[in-house]
A = this chain, B = another copy of it.
Amino acid sequence: MNEDLMKTMLAAYGAATLNGIKDFIPDKEPRTYLYDLVAEYPERGGKGFRPGLCIAACKAFGGVQSDAMNSAVCLELLHNAFLVHDDVEDESLIRRNRPTLHEANNRAIAINVGDAMQVLAMYPLHMNRDRLGDRVASAIYLEVRHLAIESAEGQAIELGWRRDNVCDLRETDYLHMILKKTCWYTCIHPLRIGAIIGTRGRVNPEIFDRFGYFMGTAFQIQDDVLNLIAEQDAYGKEICGDIIEGKRTLMLIHLLQHGSAEEHSFVKNFLSLPINKRSLDDARAILALMNTYGSIAHAKKTAQYLAGGALKEFYSIFARLPAGDDKTLIENIVLYMINRTY
């Protein structure tokens, strides 16, 4: 794999998208409590997978970057809007090495900023009408509508599990939830939208569904593993943050399935406490149990299988397309997902 090419291209597409986002943020009051904060999360940077996949798919399928920019801006701004609200919902403290928006301001202001970001995110799709015509613009709007609804459904499922302290989950429950909460908006729709733009609607977007599902689940599981094992400074989230938040990760589900009855109760009792009453010591004990039962190794292995499935799908979808940097970029994103498990 060519990690340098991937990073360079994702950085370039990410920078172009960030510039685009800034163009869509009104340059007026109220700044302190709204528009300055709208730009905060996008400016903190991220991997840029969503705009990257969208732009790369557009170009790999014969389009030009400028035709994909409105949609890339929409995807990235919507992603950041989700993050702002997710952080409030999860009571997260840190996002990308800095205090979450609601910690740095307050909860009410953060919720309102997220709402404004959702509204602002939809406008570039309206601009698509002039550039791509009403038919293609409408198709893209329906893609974005679907991803936003799937994400809300996935989030509702996860929040329901936490609220009712559901602890008898199976791996299929997890994968179903992640398909909804992560895969559609992170992988499937960015690829679909890019290809729709590149072909001016002459592609069957469903060819990306399995690919994006494998890729998105592999990505999410690895993300959760890294959150668990990485130090705060390296990763930008608090230590054991996911365990304290009660996030139903594959590791947690594996531990709940394989731990003793006593350990199962210990975890369940821990999760029944309000978040601010869950101690770091207990969270560390749960992390130790995950190691004991091989939950983390199991999750890593599952992510690799899924990434392997994604690679197979990639070759079947992209084999017919000519070689090029954007095709290579997408391949490298999949390879990166396999390699970063180590």
Contacts and interface: CB of A to CB of B under 8 A. Distances in A.
Given A108-B89, A111-B85, A152-B119, A160 B32 contact: yes
Contacts of A119: 145, 148-149, 152
A88 interface: yes
A115 B116 contact: no
Interface in A99-155: 105-109, 111-116, 118-120, 122-123, 126, 129, 134, 138, 141-142, 145, 148-149, 152-153, 155
Contacts of A26: 149
Given A30-B156, A33-B163, A153-B30, A111 B123 contact: no
Contact of A111 (B88, B116, B134): B88
B153 A109 contact: no
Contacts of A32: 160
B108 A122 contact: no
A335 interface: no
A126 B144 CA distance: 12
A257 to B, nearest CB: 23
A90 interface: yes
B163 A145 contact: no
A327 B288 CA distance: 71
24 contacts: A26-B149, A29-B153, A30-B160, A33-B156, A34-B156, A85-B112, A85-B115, A88-B108, A106-B159, A108-B159, A108-B162, A108-B163, A109-B163, A112-B159, A114-B115, A115-B152, A115-B155, A116-B156, A118-B118, A119-B145, A122-B122, A126-B138, A126-B145, A134-B134
Given A30-B156, A120-B149, 6 more contacts: A33-B157, A112-B152, A115-B148, A116-B153, A123-B145, A129-B138
Interface of A: 26, 29-30, 32-34, 85, 88-90, 105-109, 111-116, 118-120, 122-123, 126, 129, 134, 138, 141-142, 145, 148-149, 152-153, 155-157, 159-160, 162-163
